[in-house]
Amino acid sequence: MTAEHGRQGAAGSGCRAPRSDQRLAGPARTRCGWRWPRPGRILPSSPSRPLPAPCGLLDQAQAAGARLIHGGAHDAAGRYLAPTLLDCSAIDSPLDSQELFGPLLPVIAYDNLEEVLQRIDAGPKPLALYLWSRDRAVQRRVVARTSSGSVGLNLCMQQYTQLHLPFGGVNHSGSGSAHGQAGFRTFSHERSVLAAGPLLAVRLLLPPYSPFKLRLAQWVSRLTGGG
């Protein structure tokens, strides 16, 4: 399952879907294999805004200089946006800081993996991070250098279906985890109960201060080097 499939699923409305696709530079890497016979519709962002947000973001990105790779057709009245790939390598993309919730995937070319790691570190921690690479050293480097709710290696969104793996965000992307024991602990409240015993030591520090308590305080003070 590729980033393109993950972005198109459920008309791109999944919170686990990739928000951008950063690829090694090269024209051969910008081809799209999407073939969706009946694409779904997307919901408007609010009743007062009939144009779904992803359509507006597409128009903004193209106005800023993004290059259309695939798709782009949209119908605001019909709440339709075709599966769309945008080359945003040459612009400061407005899509980087937005939740897309539509079948719209910006593609950003890079020449050095360090560029990608710095870009990820500079933004909010994502709910999910996906890497397609068979190089084990690259996999270890990306996992070690980044922070995210979950990581998918050579797959997309499938980590959510593994019920024995905790799934949740970190910092901006959420707190706590669902699934299995992790979900039980997250959605349960561990209540603390502390009861005083008959020989509670803290009572020796409370007034009234008897001669015994004063001698004890002086002894503790000498023992701890207080004079």
Q: At what angle do helices 136-145 and 113-122 cross, to 10 degrees?
A: 20
Q: Work out the angle at residue 10's Cα, subtended by the Cα atoms of residues 6 and 11, and round it to the nearest 5 degrees.
A: 90
- Contacts of residue 202, Cβ cutoff 8 Å, sequence gap at least 6: none
Reported as a single tens digit per residue, the pLDDT across 86-125 is 898 888 777 776 777 788 888 888 889 999 999 899 888 9
| Total residue count of the chain as it appears in this document | 227
Query: What is the CATH topology of the domain spanning 112-186?
Result: Aldehyde Dehydrogenase; Chain A, domain 2 (3.40.309)
Residue with tokens 């996999």, as numbered in its chain: 139
Q: How far is CA 203 from CA 136, 182, 207, 226, in A?
A: 60, 40, 8, 21
Confidence at residue 4, expressed as pLDDT on a 0 to 100 scale: 56
Beta carbons of 55 and 76 less than 8 angstroms apart: yes
Confidence at residue 53, expressed as pLDDT on a 0 to 100 scale: 72
Neighbours of 15 (CB within 10 A): 15
CATH 3.40.309.10 in the chain, residues? 112-186
CA 85 to CA 181: how far, in whole Å?
39
In order along its 227 residues, the chain shows pLDDT tens digits of: 556 555 555 555 555 566 556 666 554 344 444 555 555 566 555 555 545 577 788 888 888 888 999 888 887 777 788 888 889 888 877 777 677 778 888 888 888 999 999 989 988 899 999 999 999 999 999 999 999 999 999 998 888 888 888 988 898 888 888 888 888 888 899 899 988 888 777 787 788 888 888 888 888 888 887 65
Reported as a single tens digit per residue, the pLDDT across 161-180 is 888 889 888 988 888 888 88
Instruction: Kindly report the three-state secondary structure assignment for every residue of the chain.
Output: CCHHHHHHHHHHCCCCCCCCEEEECCHHHCCCCCCCCCCCCCCCCECCECCCHHHHHHHHHHHCCCEEEECCCEECCCCEECCEEEECCCCCCCCCCCCCCCCEEEEEEECCHHHHHHHHHHCCCCCCEEECCCCHHHHHHHHHHCCCCCEEECCCCHHHHCCCCCECCCHHHCCCCECHHHHHHHCCCCCCCCCCCCCCHHHHHCCCCCHHHHHHHHHHHHHCCCC
